[in-house]
């Protein structure tokens, strides 16, 4: 007997809809093939096409036209890319998933930890996957998307149905021409990215500087070793044996390679948006407390960034 999946007619290339038209969502939509991509509207005025200019890493400027597509339209997606902020993900998905087939893979691109696990727990039978990317993208204004640096993306299942859909999802994402890898241990890759974000984002937001500038700042130098010790102790609990000194090296390497970039957290503060601190240092502090581990610096950075958001 044909499985429900094989009985659905699938055009080629696979249709990917993107939920969340921020910098990362626009990046994927810009590179996915025409006619097989769309943004899912989240506001009433999001109809017709979303138009913007893509500035490629080589400086080429390309016009991009991505249709706003209702998920219930005839072209049911093969894959849903979720590029909302961590704090918006559950609400945004709840509205959309009622219109999607139960076998449609959901690929979560959120920073930090916590939001992915909530989604996987909420829809245990749906294929839920997470993606970790080093693609650099930012939006200097509403009509421009800068692809600041070519990166790579790793995708892996967060539940059994997600693992089953993994190679199909990698093929769908790779139709963009961006570099996409299948990741057998996405949980550890999420933790590695979390540690880097925890060591860069709050410092850039508090000091108000580009990523590379934190490295010489007294506030960063005063707290980074204790922060790395807290994170390393938690990572031991999560099954990743990493030394605090190695974490510091990784943080500083990323700060140097993205030296001129404005981190997502600093950008959120500058633009008066809620930051993802709760899912980065906030999540680490909470998990440390749960395991009776020290969390002073993670807690201090979380509170500080939350206070900054409140006055922004
Ligand atoms: O992922 C990032 C972010 O800004 O959220 C880093 C690695 C800090 C690069 O800017």
Domain identity same for 26 and 150: yes
The confidence score (pLDDT) of residue 238 equals 94
In this prediction the pTM is: 0.93
Helices 186-207, 244-257: inter-axial angle, 10-degree rounding = 70
Cα(209) to centroid(ligand 1), Å = 13
Cα(234) to centroid(ligand 1), Å = 21
Model confidence pLDDT, tens digit, residues 190-240 = 999 999 999 999 999 999 999 999 999 999 999 999 999 999 999 999 999
Q: What is the CATH number of the domain that holds 267?
A: 1.10.1040.10
Q: Total domain count for the chain?
A: 2
Domain identity same for 52 and 169: yes
Cα(233) to centroid(ligand 1), Å = 23
Which of 128, 159, 184 is the last residue before a domain boundary?
184
Q: Which residues line ligand 1 (CB under 6 A)?
A: 111, 196-197, 200-201, 211, 254, 258, 261, 263-264
Query: Is 260 assigned a catalytic role?
Result: no
Which of 131, 157, 184 is the last residue before a domain boundary?
184
- Among 43, 164, 193, 216, the active-site one is 193
Domain identity same for 172 and 266: no
Q: Which SS3 state, helix, strand or coil, does residue 33 take?
A: coil
Which of 111, 112, 137, 264 gets mutated to test ligand 1 (max ligand atoms within 8 A of its CB)? 264
Domain identity same for 10 and 155: yes
The confidence score (pLDDT) of residue 7 equals 43
Please answer whether residues 106 and 119 qualify as being in contact, where contact means their C-beta atoms are separated by less than 8 angstroms. yes
Containing domain of residue 66, as a range?
Answer: 4-184
Please answer whether residues 198 and 250 qualify as being in contact, where contact means their C-beta atoms are separated by less than 8 angstroms. no
Helices 296-311, 281-290: inter-axial angle, 10-degree rounding = 140
120, pLDDT greater than 90: yes
């Amino acid at each position: 007997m044909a499985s429900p999946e094989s009985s659905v007619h699938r055009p080629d290339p696979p249709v990917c809809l993107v939920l969340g038209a921020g910098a990362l969502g626009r990046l994927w939509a810009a590179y996915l093939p025409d006619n097989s991509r769309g943004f899912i509207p989240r506001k009433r005025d999001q109809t017709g096409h979303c138009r913007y200019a893509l500035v490629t890493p080589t400086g080429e400027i390309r016009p991009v036209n991505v249709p706003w597509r209702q998920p219930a339209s005839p072209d049911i997606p093969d894959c849903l890319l979720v590029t909302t902020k961590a704090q918006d993900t559950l609400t945004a998905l709840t509205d959309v998933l009622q219109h999607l087939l139960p076998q449609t893979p959901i690929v979560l691109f959120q920073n930090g930890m916590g939001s992915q696990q909530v989604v996987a727990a909420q829809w245990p039978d749906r294929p839920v996957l997470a993606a970790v990317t080093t693609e650099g993208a930012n939006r200097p204004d509403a009509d421009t998307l800068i692809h600041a640096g070519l990166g790579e993306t790793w995708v892996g299942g967060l539940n059994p149905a997600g693992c089953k859909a993994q190679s199909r999802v990698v093929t769908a994402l790779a139709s963009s021409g961006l570099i996409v890898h299948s990741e057998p241990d996405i949980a550890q890759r999420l933790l590695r990215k979390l540690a880097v974000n925890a060591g860069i984002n709050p410092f850039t937001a508090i000091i108000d500087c580009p990523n590379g500038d934190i490295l010489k700042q007294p506030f960063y130098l005063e707290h980074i070793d204790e922060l790395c010790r807290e994170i390393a102790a938690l990572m031991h609990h999560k099954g990743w044996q990493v030394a605090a000194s190695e974490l510091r090296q990784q943080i500083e390497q990323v700060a140097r390679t993205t030296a001129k970039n404005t981190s997502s957290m600093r950008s959120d503060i500058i633009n008066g948006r809620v930051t993802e601190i709760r899912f980065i240092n906030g999540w680490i502090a909470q998990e440390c407390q749960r395991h009776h581990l020290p969390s002073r610096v993670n807690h201090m950075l979380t509170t500080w960034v939350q206070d900054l958001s409140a006055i922004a």
